[in-house]
């Protein structure tokens, strides 16, 4: 049966050992990888030698690196309203500050080019109790990143993240309307929109311009009071069959990439990712 989309994963969702991760990813039919945590470090903090070693491990499996899962703009925005404490902030060993962002941007672009990845994932600062008050500053930062990325033939992929100021399809659509730039596109994560209180499909997705979606993250959960309980992909609160059918109808041509989050049966995260990986493969097989 034909496969509707190629599939990938963030490697550390399978294992902290990148060699073990890509081996398991290959077993479930994945052909590409996103890098976030490698050799116990956030991708932004790896040395050139570590980057080269990580790339070799991925490419030796016949896989390519499609995205740098950077922590850009995943920090406190100074002189903004207080942080919204309802949402868990996942930092993945990155404790960088607002003042670090120019240096991190330079390094993220270097890393993407070194690894052969065109997408640099970014965020929108930690979510405040008044995200609308941060909108203009978020737009300014994202516009500047897109303009710089254009000179490097890179895409800035804004992920809608429940712990950041741009969390829903509605909020993401507003950013896209404000920044009509080909180098700013969207990493659409329906699960993050669900945690934020939005019905991600069809409502949240329906607000987006499909041609601005460059990448899709796949995970699943049930939510109560903005607190997610993650579980097997396609078996929880998101209509993944409907979402994938809509992506097909709208002409999406990118990867769907697993970001498991589910701790797994008996706390076995590797087993969780294998289950979710197989579920994803089934979902994208017509």
CATH (residue range 7-283): 3.20.20.150
Q: What is the mean pLDDT of residues 150-168?
A: 97
The band of 126, judged by pLDDT with boundaries at 50, 70 and 90, is: very high
pLDDT for res 2: 86
pLDDT for res 93: 62
- 159 CB contacts (<8 Å, ≥6 apart)? 121, 122, 123, 186, 187, 189, 192, 217
Are residues 22 and 58 in contact, defined by beta-carbon separation less than 8 angstroms? yes
Q: What are phi and psi of 216, to 5 degrees?
A: -130, 130
Q: How many helices (H) and strands (E) would you count in the chain? A: 9, 12
Domain chopping of the chain, boundaries = 7-283
pLDDT for res 141: 98
The band of 91, judged by pLDDT with boundaries at 50, 70 and 90, is: low
pTM value? 0.96
**pLDDT, the chain, mean:** 96
């Amino acid at each position: 049966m034909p496969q509707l989309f190629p599939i990938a994963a963030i490697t550390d969702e399978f294992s902290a050992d990148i060699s073990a991760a890509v081996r398991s990813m290959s077993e479930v039919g994945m052909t590409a990888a996103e890098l976030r945590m490698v050799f116990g470090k956030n991708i932004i903090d790896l040395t050139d030698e570590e980057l080269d070693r990580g790339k070799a491990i991925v490419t030796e499996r016949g896989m390519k690196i499609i995205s740098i899962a950077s922590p850009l703009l995943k920090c406190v925005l100074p002189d903004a309203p207080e942080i919204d404490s309802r949402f868990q902030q996942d930092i993945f060993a990155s404790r960088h500050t607002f003042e670090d962002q120019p240096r991190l941007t330079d390094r993220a672009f270097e890393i993407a080019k070194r690894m052969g990845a065109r997408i640099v994932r970014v965020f929108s600062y930690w979510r405040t109790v008044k995200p609308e008050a941060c909108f203009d500053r978020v737009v300014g930062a994202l516009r500047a990143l897109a303009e710089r990325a254009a000179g490097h033939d890179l895409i800035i992929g804004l992920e809608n993240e429940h712990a950041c100021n741009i969390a829903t399809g509605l909020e993401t659509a507003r950013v896209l309307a404000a920044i009509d730039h080909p180098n700013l596109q969207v990493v659409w994560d329906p699960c993050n929109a669900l945690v934020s209180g939005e019905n991600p499909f069809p409502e949240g997705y329906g607000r987006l311009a499909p041609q601005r979606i460059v990448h899709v993250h796949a995970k699943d959960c049930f939510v109560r009071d903005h607190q997610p309980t993650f579980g097997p992909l396609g078996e929880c609160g998101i209509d993944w069959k409907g979402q994938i059918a809509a992506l097909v109808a709208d002409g999406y041509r990118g990867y769907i990439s697993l970001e498991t989050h589910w701790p797994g049966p008996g706390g076995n995260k590797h087993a969780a990712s294998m289950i979710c990986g197989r579920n994803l493969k089934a979902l994208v097989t017509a």
